[in-house]
Structure 1
Amino acid sequence: MSVNTTYQLTQSQKMMVFVLSMSLYGLSNMFTELIPSVQLGVIELSVEYFAFIPLTLCILFHPLYAAIGASLGEIIFGELMLGQFGGIGELEKFITFSLGMFIAGILVRNPLNRKQIIIAVFTGLLVHHLLGTMIDIGKVWVGVEEFEAVPGLAESIVVIEGVALLNDLLFSGVLFALLPTLYLVPRLYGKIEPLLGMKPRDRQVEYSIFQIVTPKLVAVSILLSAIAILSEFLSETEWAFGEWEPEFLGIFGEWFIWIPIGIATIVVLITIQVMRSKSKKNLKGNENLG
């Protein structure tokens, strides 16, 4: 049995998952802007993102729509509304993050199986961060970006990026991705879906890893990775375009961040209310039929 036949949502439900993921993760990204980083020698400990939000939604609901929604939410609420949009270079982050979250979501067959959740979370984060690390190293080696931590030794970027990768996986990855996801998924599974008018994923269905990681998925992943690499390389050249940093942000000051936070919060509340309203209508319809 293929993955597509194990869990089905209507087009309306998919869109609701998309909007919910977009607004929730976008809202969380703005809050990370308010959290200061801690410098320990050459290592900077910072809260890069609250990845447990898209991970939980990808595992419980529809991996594709939740993953893309989260990535778009980061761009809209965490970049555009804050005046930090990096143009074509943002495509790299969009692709690698969406790909990582999607893979994490499809790797979990049983949301109550903690072992599957652990493997899925670290696999998804590794896909996202490793692709980003390889792209950053490639930019220096190819020469589109200048960065030599040790003068005259471009290979030093490998050490710097390697340390950053471990920090992302072992610090942010454990504290703000793995542990919250391990706590939330088993407790929300089977409880939150009916409240939002959806059925839980069928955890009784068994299928092999080869039915999940198909040749088509591998081919699409390679293609998307190539596009991500190209877009990031272009962002460092004269062909870069789409960067946006409005001047009005300097006029309003740091308090301006609360405006997009408020907008994202309203979108979240409206989305949840619409999903609950649809759930109540479905329940009434089933009662009338009964």
Structure 2
Amino acid sequence: MSATRGIYTQSQKLMTFVLSMSLYGLATLISELIPSVQVGIVEFSVEFFLFIPLTIAMLFDPLSAALGAATGELVFSEIMLGQFGGIGELEKFLTVTIALYIAGTLVKDPRNMRTVALVSFGCTALQLAMSAGVDICKVAFAVEEFEAVPGLPESVYFTEGFAFVNDLLFSGILFCMLPTMFLVPRLYGKIEPLLGMKPRTPENAPEAPSAKLVIGAVACFAVAVAVACLSEAGFSLIEWEADWAESEAALFAGIAVAAVVAAVAAFWAHRNAQIKAA
């Protein structure tokens, strides 16, 4: 990375995108193998390993890391498993991208443990809140006479609110905030030179979120709500599901492909860095 604030070369952006895509895609497939635990009405399950793209977004280009993670989840945990939800998939793509990109731009000094902790927890809260908001809107707009059905609005708000708090306190802390706090300061200054980049500092960090970014995020969220409602109403366009969808063979094949892509991307990035340093 150059000394100019937030400037990365196209090659560095591509390396960041591919690494984020493959590593997060691999993580989402592995999370499918972890069983959930039910304790009364509370279900403990691993929703995501968001610390992986978060770490990348805090050390490298945030937008490339965010787009890579969203793409990896779509390609490896959906298409590779033999299923595709049509335009409804755009909802998760947008909410993950928004949360990760904003989080990556908020960290100016990755060595600041307090900032890393707050931003990683806030990133999870933002993504889960947007997902809950989309789910509520789907019910509110897709169900005729939403307010007229006794108990329906209250039950939807309670269910989504409870799921939000449960996922935030469990997955948000154990599989996002704590691993990110551990990885970011320890990888800082060690992994960037391997990819031909300079460590992030307050002087060369990406610009902080602006009013333009906030407006863009709100617009993207509105699009996510719209496509989710259209999908719920039956306008999924190219939705499909293969006969082997979610089979163990597809799952392990996806894990193998994601691992190979990650290894090749890491080798390619390291090789490019060595050539530039020579």
TM-score range, shorter chain: over 0.9
Q: Residues 70-103 of structure 1: CA distance to partner in whole angstroms, max 9, x if unpaired? A: 0000000111000232111110100001100111
TM-score by length of 2: 0.93
Q: What's the counterpart of residue 261 of structure 1?
A: 255
Q: What's the counterpart of residue 43 of structure 2?
A: 44
SS of residue paired to 1:227 = helix
SS of residue paired to 2:138 = helix
Q: What's the counterpart of residue 239 of structure 2?
A: 243
Q: Residues 97-122 of structure 1: CA distance to partner in whole angstroms, max 9, x if unpaired? A: 11001111111011000111122112
2:226 corresponds to which of 206, 230, 243:
230
State whether residues 50 and 177 of structure 1, in contact with CA within 8 Å, keep that contact through their aligned partners in structure 2: yes
Deviates more, 1:122-131 or 1:170-179: 122-131
Q: Residues 201-251 of structure 1: CA distance to partner in whole angstroms, max 9, x if unpaired? A: 1245699xxx6221111110111011000010011113222222101448x
TM-score by length of 1: 0.89
- Which whole-Å CA distance do the structure 1 matches of 2:67 and 2:238 have between them? 20
State whether residues 17 and 64 of structure 2, in contact with CA within 8 Å, keep that contact through their aligned partners in structure 1: yes
Structure 1 residue 219 and structure 2 residue 228: aligned?
A: no
- Call closer, same or farther: CA 1:199–1:205 in 2, change over 3 Å: closer
> Which aligned pairs between 1:1-290 and structure 2 lie closer than 5 A?
5-144=4-143, 152-203=151-202, 212-249=208-245, 253-284=247-278
Q: CA deviation at 1:145?
A: 8.7
Q: Residues 262-282 of structure 1: CA distance to partner in whole angstroms, max 9, x if unpaired? A: 111111111011111111111
- Which whole-Å CA distance do the structure 2 matches of 1:240 and 1:267 have between them? 30
SS of residue paired to 1:273 = helix
State whether residues 80 and 250 of structure 2, in contact with CA within 8 Å, keep that contact through their aligned partners in structure 1: no
Q: CA deviation at 1:126?
A: 1.8
Q: CA deviation at 1:52?
A: 0.4
SS of residue paired to 1:192 = coil
- Call closer, same or farther: CA 1:35–1:282 in 2, change over 3 Å: same
Higher relative contact order structure (alpha carbons within 8 Å, sequence separation ≥ 6): 2
**Cα RMSD (Å):** 2.2
For structure 1, which runs of at least 5 residues remain unmatched after alignment? 285-290
State whether residues 30 and 78 of structure 1, in contact with CA within 8 Å, keep that contact through their aligned partners in structure 2: yes
- Which whole-Å CA distance do the structure 2 matches of 1:115 and 1:265 have between them? 32
Q: Which amino acid aligns with 1:188?
A: L
State whether residues 6 and 201 of structure 1, in contact with CA within 8 Å, keep that contact through their aligned partners in structure 2: no
Q: Which has the larger radius of gyration?
A: 1
- Call closer, same or farther: CA 1:248–1:171 in 2, change over 3 Å: closer
- Which whole-Å CA distance do the structure 1 matches of 2:240 and 2:205 have between them? 47
- Which whole-Å CA distance do the structure 2 matches of 1:145 and 1:45 have between them? 33
State whether residues 7 and 202 of structure 1, in contact with CA within 8 Å, keep that contact through their aligned partners in structure 2: no
- Call closer, same or farther: CA 1:147–1:36 in 2, change over 3 Å: farther
Task: Work out the number of aligned pairs and report it.
Answer: 275
- Which whole-Å CA distance do the structure 2 matches of 1:115 and 1:152 have between them? 42
SS of residue paired to 1:181 = helix
Q: CA deviation at 1:151?
A: 7.0
- Which whole-Å CA distance do the structure 2 matches of 1:190 and 1:7 have between them? 17
Q: What's the counterpart of residue 287 of structure 1?
A: none
Q: Which amino acid aligns with 1:267?
A: V
- Which whole-Å CA distance do the structure 2 matches of 1:235 and 1:145 have between them? 16
- Call closer, same or farther: CA 1:216–1:204 in 2, change over 3 Å: closer
- Call closer, same or farther: CA 1:224–1:246 in 2, change over 3 Å: same
State whether residues 103 and 120 of structure 1, in contact with CA within 8 Å, keep that contact through their aligned partners in structure 2: no
- Call closer, same or farther: CA 1:278–1:145 in 2, change over 3 Å: farther
SS of residue paired to 1:233 = helix
- Spell out structure 1 runs of 4+ moving beyond 6 A: 145-148
- Which whole-Å CA distance do the structure 2 matches of 1:154 and 1:52 have between them? 33
Q: Percent identity?
A: 48
For structure 2, which runs of at least 5 residues remain unmatched after alignment? none
